[in-house]
Structure 1
């Protein structure tokens, strides 16, 4: 049943719509150490183990690409999607090949599964693209899609006293979460995260933000679910970027439910609440 986990799927790249793709590319090139290039109408930024593309449009998520372990794992994911009778969509063509395929979740977000191609080694501060967190009016439907239809596993919940799901964290490999969701009055991106590895690398990122005069809008702190250290900054489109370290690795444990309180989102201090 847990096909996404068996496939070892991980967040490989993201494609964002922006009113000013060139401005976004400059920011990610300079601040996030992801050199930019333009291919037609698409701006592409790549750094060590992180890949982003920007296209013109209203601010939002165009697609998120998850790479599978190998061709057999990708075939297993495709078979799962076909068994669930989901519409199979063509992938965007920035990194994955013709073997890739896409599906849309209940909120209309396009998720693409494919195989990673070799990336030329590049220098710079570490920080692979690590997870995507969605905003949704119905996080239970998001869980139903990713867990019920694609075979992710729910690691943790945050629930209100009346039982409503306020947030959930799901995984498609051994990391605590590769896709999460917060209940909000809108749909799309809540935030996305780059993994710094450990506290010393997170401090390097903090220093880098200071050098580029980019304020840290939340953190440093430590989340309850996932136990990861974090900072948050904003890009020119005011997307929240999280840089985190020391995310929990899970091999076998049941999901846990956290209360709706500050310590769930930040064990060191105040939380940023959504709706």
Structure 2
């Protein structure tokens, strides 16, 4: 669905955006980039003090630092009007931003959530993919998930400051929120946060086309001797098919398909904090 179609009938205070790149820290950024080159079909290049990995509809940036650290997440906006609306919304909600010129985004603004995670929103400036890139297995960079000691503060920042919409919450037996899924398009979530003992990056996800492509990605991981750590399975929130692998730093990497599309007026869903919520087919990994 296009941004123009998504805008029809949406509340005026909601954001329209899509995840465009992730910038991650690693004690071995070159080694991590080599893993993603093998695992996800990225083309890797050195750009100043960063290693940039690009593929069809997916971009990663690696820098030297502590593992499991999200340095920045970049979201593409459809036009300048959306950018200026976002800037106004951030200020009106009592948060701050600065103008930015990021890798892979032109005119952009940067802001930080209460945990210090940095988020950039701007107009994309991707080069056209080569014919060789187009032939690679489809996997669009689709969502990112963080762990937080204070997830309610992060959710407030995303809903009030940025204009994301809450899709679903996962509640424990005492009624406390353990995980929240948020969207900035009709796709069920582009961002999620769960309660944990530390603030860190948990995983990022690539959306592919269908069940058969999940099979093809599993075969590809096997050909590269990369073991599948979880799945195939089906999540409750989002109703998507999935499989997970680990990168060398211990970050989860998800391949997903058939993620739920959500209408504007859909009520916020509530799910119990149990294994079947995370995987209706079997074992769920309750990391929160």
Band the TM-score falls in, shorter-chain normalisation:
over 0.9
Aligned equivalents of 1:178, 1:153: Cα separation in 2: 10
The two structures, once aligned, show a CA RMSD in angstroms of 1.4
Q: In the alignment, is the contact (CA less than 8 A) between 1:3 and 1:76 conserved in 2?
A: no
Aligned equivalents of 1:255, 1:92: Cα separation in 2: 35
> In the TM superposition, what are the counterparts of 1:41-60 in structure 2 within 5 Å?
41-59=49-67, 60=69
Aligned equivalents of 2:262, 2:165: Cα separation in 1: 11
Residue 228 of structure 1 is matched in structure 2 by 240
**Secondary structure at the counterpart of residue 98 of structure 2:** coil
Aligned equivalents of 1:197, 1:188: Cα separation in 2: 29
Question: Which deviations, in whole Å up to 9, do the C-alpha atoms of 1:119-166 show, x marking residues without a partner?
Answer: 312220000100011101122111111012211111001001111111
Question: Which deviations, in whole Å up to 9, do the C-alpha atoms of 1:218-244 show, x marking residues without a partner?
Answer: 000000000000001011111100110
Residue 186 of structure 1 is matched in structure 2 by 198
Residue 64 of structure 1 is matched in structure 2 by 73
Q: In the alignment, is the contact (CA less than 8 A) between 1:2 and 1:151 conserved in 2?
A: no
Residue 262 of structure 1 is matched in structure 2 by 275
> In the TM superposition, what are the counterparts of 1:163-202 in structure 2 within 5 Å?
163-202=175-214
Change (3 A) 1:45 1:135: same
Aligned equivalents of 1:92, 1:136: Cα separation in 2: 27
Q: How many residues align?
A: 273
Q: In the alignment, is the contact (CA less than 8 A) between 1:3 and 1:152 conserved in 2?
A: no
2:169 to 130, 153, 157: 157
- What are structure 1's unaligned runs of at least 5 residues? none
Residue 85 of structure 1 is matched in structure 2 by 94
Q: TM-score normalised to the size of structure 1?
A: 0.95
Aligned equivalents of 1:258, 1:143: Cα separation in 2: 17
